[in-house]
């Protein structure tokens, strides 16, 4: 079909035809729905409709329910710099926590994909909020701003985001109640960064790359890497100045998907 850029802005809820890269007149039967504003796609696709439910956002799928040793601990505010898809359940009620265990997150990074499975039994509120942020596109276009070899790699800082949050995305960001648990912070564990206050975690999180017992019981561990440790190792090995990577390491998207 011939391209028809009738509504060129790729905003949340837009429905557009899939194209073959570099061929603007290649639209066929396939289409996609935008779950977060994607200005980088403006004027490139034929937008032919709007999903009114999608306009509310897939984030509603996961709405609420309810160092020592000479190292600097992961801080939610520490930073060296300034389309997600999910199945949509019924909006009539939140997913029971046990159902969230059927999902996992895939981090698309410039070093390769990293797959995380969640500890829904240990940190249900944190897992639900992480899913909401990911589904709304909050994590899209961020960076791994901190690399501390043998300790952690950290991302999720809003100051590292390539574009500002939309108003709807901003409304989703809030401090999290701590869910400290008995998970040991060993290589591959995913945990929320925070400031001095136990309830100061918001969006920033880290992946542990070595034994970090100083974090046990005082940071909320909510998942673990089950695939993609090669990408974690590559990020950890990136050239850096202090703990700041010399070249930007992108967190392109975080996709929430059902486990196979």
- Helices (H) then strands (E): counts for the chain: 5, 13
Percent of the chain predicted with pLDDT > 90: 60
The predicted structure's pLDDT at residue 61: 46
pLDDT at position 108 is: 98
Residue 224 and residue 140 share a domain: yes
pTM of the complete model beyond 0.75: no
Residue 192 and residue 111 in one domain = yes
Residue 9 lies in a domain: no
Residues 181 and 158 placed together within one structural domain of the fold: yes
pLDDT at 85: 34
- pLDDT exceeds cutoff 70 at 120: yes
Q: How confident is the model at residue 62 (pLDDT cuts 50, 70, 90)?
A: very low
Q: Are both 94 and 127 inside the same structural domain?
A: yes
Q: For position 92, which CATH number holds?
A: 2.40.100.10
d(CA 114, CA 42): 28
Q: What pLDDT is stored for residue 49 in this prediction? A: 75
Check whether residue 248 and residue 156 sit in a common domain. Answer: yes
Q: In this structure, are 24 and 63 located in the same domain?
A: no
Cα separation values, 1 from 8, 26, 98, 125, Å? 17, 6, 44, 46
Mean pLDDT of 141-168: 97
Say yes or no: 211 and 87 in one domain: yes
User: Which of residues 66 and 71 earns the better pLDDT score?
Assistant: 71
45 domain-assigned: yes
88 and 176 fall within a common domain: yes
Tell me 159's DSSP state: G
Q: What is the mean pLDDT of residues 157-174?
A: 96
- pLDDT score for 4: 60
The reply to whether 3 falls in a domain is no
**Among candidate residues 5, 25, 56, the one where a domain is terminated:** 56
Q: Are 146 and 233 in a shared domain?
A: yes
Give the pLDDT confidence score for residue 1 in this predicted structure: 62
Residue 7 lies in a domain: no
| Highest mean pLDDT (candidates 19-33, 92-106, 170-184) | 170-184
* Same-domain pairing of 89 and 25: no
Q: Which range marks the domain in which residue 247 is found?
A: 58-258
| pLDDT > 70? residue 107 | yes
In the predicted structure, residue 182 carries a pLDDT above the cut 60: yes
Cβ-based neighbour number of residue 72 at 10 Å? 12
For the cut 70, the answer to whether the pLDDT of residue 32 exceeds it is: no
Name the range with the highest mean pLDDT among 15-29, 37-51, 63-77, 181-195: 181-195
The answer as to whether 1 is a domain residue is: no
pLDDT at 212: 96
pLDDT at 91: 42
Neighbours of 28 (CB within 10 A): 10
CB-based contacts of 196, cutoff 8 Å, min separation 6: none
My answer on whether 37 and 121 are in the same domain is: no
Comparing 65 with 111, the larger pLDDT belongs to: 111
Return the percentage of the chain with pLDDT > 70, whole number. Answer: 67
CA distance linking residue 202 with residue 160, whole number of Å: 14
Total tally of structural domains belonging to the chain: 2
pLDDT-derived band at 136 (thresholds 50, 70, 90) equals very high
Q: Do 67 and 52 belong together in one domain? A: no
Q: What is the CA radius of gyration of the chain?
A: 19
pLDDT for res 128: 96
Listed residue (243, 242, 238) closest to 109, CA to CA: 238
Least-confidence region, from 37-41, 65-69, 98-102, 136-140: 65-69
């Amino acid at each position: 079909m011939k391209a028809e850029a009738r509504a060129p802005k790729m905003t949340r809820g837009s429905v557009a035809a899939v194209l073959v890269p570099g061929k603007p007149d290649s639209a066929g039967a396939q289409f996609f729905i935008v779950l977060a504003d994607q200005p980088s796609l403006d004027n490139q696709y034929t937008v032919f409709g709007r999903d009114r439910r999608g306009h509310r956002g897939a984030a509603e799928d996961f709405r609420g329910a309810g160092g020592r040793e000479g190292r600097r601990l992961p801080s939610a505010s520490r930073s060296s710099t300034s389309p997600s898809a999910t199945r949509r359940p019924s909006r009539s009620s939140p997913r029971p926590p046990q159902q969230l265990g059927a999902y996992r997150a895939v981090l698309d990074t410039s070093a390769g994909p990293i797959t995380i499975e969640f500890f829904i039994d240990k940190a249900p509120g944190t897992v639900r909020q992480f899913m909401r942020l990911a589904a709304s596109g909050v994590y899209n276009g961020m960076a791994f701003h901190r690399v501390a070899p043998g300790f952690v790699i950290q991302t999720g800082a809003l100051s590292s985001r390539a574009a500002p949050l939309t108003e709807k995305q901003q409304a989703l960001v809030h401090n999290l109640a701590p869910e400290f648990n008995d998970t040991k912070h060993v290589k591959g564990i995913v945990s929320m960064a925070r400031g001095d206050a136990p309830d100061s975690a918001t969006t920033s999180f880290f992946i542990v790359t070595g034994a970090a017992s100083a974090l046990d019981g005082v940071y909320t561990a909510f998942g673990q890497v089950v695939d993609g440790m090669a990408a974690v190792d590559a990020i950890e090995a990136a050239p850096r100045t202090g703990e700041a990577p010399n070249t930007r390491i992108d967190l392109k998207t975080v996709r929430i998907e059902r486990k196979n």
